[in-house]
Structure 1
């Protein structure tokens, strides 16, 4: 694997780190298995790509995409909180509905952004003294770290602590006067807003949005969280969010290496198989890793 492919894997890993952070928020903080991300990821891409293709400012288009993702998460949480539909079933219902909604938004299965201005382009121009395959991952790294620090601050605030208490023991949280239903609504909305943000960035970086681009997104997010937790054992919020980022990058690099090892015979269509193998290894043999990072 050459250096450009290596940085390309890091770039994609940083992009999916946003998905990993979103999945961490729903699965680990709120203990809410949320499959909506398979629909909110392409939703972010569909909204951003459609608006940009119609002449809307890329930053505004990205903001609308984030808001749309938040609404998708809000719908899932509302079905669970208000109508007591099982969280898995509620999220599946929303994800299925989003497939048709994304088609409605785009008006066709995919939208091209080739030749269109994007939110990343002006930032890349500021770093035109370095190759684009270095500049883009650097921009994404700064963006992801900024989001990580903001989320860390939120989760350590009074509201964030109440949200963490809701996920840990909702019965006890209610007894302490915490409005758990509202926090579930907020948390799942935030989670899917982050995932939609990743989808919007994906569409702008790779020049297209497709209705099927969200297939397996939840698996990628879970892979980031699980692999990250095996690499970093400290469970504090600051390290947990960092582990999701590190897990996403490690996962994409591992996938890139697997596809570049000719003797394994992996092809593009084997992506989900490679994902299953990597996550399986992370789950069943955590102690076999050569070294774990720790913040002792």
Structure 2
């Protein structure tokens, strides 16, 4: 009789600190259900952001085609006025943006800037540009457009920073934005012989790569033999140097903006696909747990009925 009472007391689930198996299953199912709900909400957000980025990409590509004409005309002018004066003092202008959720697009220009500062002539970035633009000093001054690349470069080359710009490119960049940046660069106390612009080059709707564009300074233009033929005044040379810098910055801004929208659309597309796969996995896990809980309850009911 005593043994029978002991056995029945040990079989009770109401022991202090213990929980019945059904309660544990219900808690687990509740956690899975909450996680399913959160992942579904994330999927809705990423799909909406993908649609918005797709719409903005079409506008950005149209602006890029118009803005690239400025850069091509600027490059053609400098291609016909080679300078005999070396330009050892380089000013780096890094083009990025303030927004994230667009993959590694900001990291690409940051890595390209660090490679160029290390005089890595054999790097893909240096191979895509002229050799003189890649061979620069480690202590070259840097100006950054955008908070994302600023935060990445601040850890390694923060001492080289001279100016930083933000709130540019929230929408499609305009020539007024580029002119404002160029005006602040010219009015700064930084002395340079040429400006090296590091930006993302638009390859296709799914790919981009870091590239550099060099713009000659006022002194380099004055020393150019081809440019001396026109006998321009000092003010005209200064205005041309500032205008060409604004042209190059504008071309880099619109191309970088198109790359950003393309990368954001691809990132949101991948995030939506990952959310869909996670929802399917969690739904299967939830169904299995719910089926196991129901089976345990049926076993308890049948066992109790059999005992009666």
In the superposition, the TM-score normalised over structure 2's length comes to: 0.23
Larger Rg: 2
Question: Whose helix fraction is larger, Structure 1's or Structure 2's?
Answer: 1
Does 1 or 2 have the higher relative contact order (CA < 8 Å, sep 6+)? 1
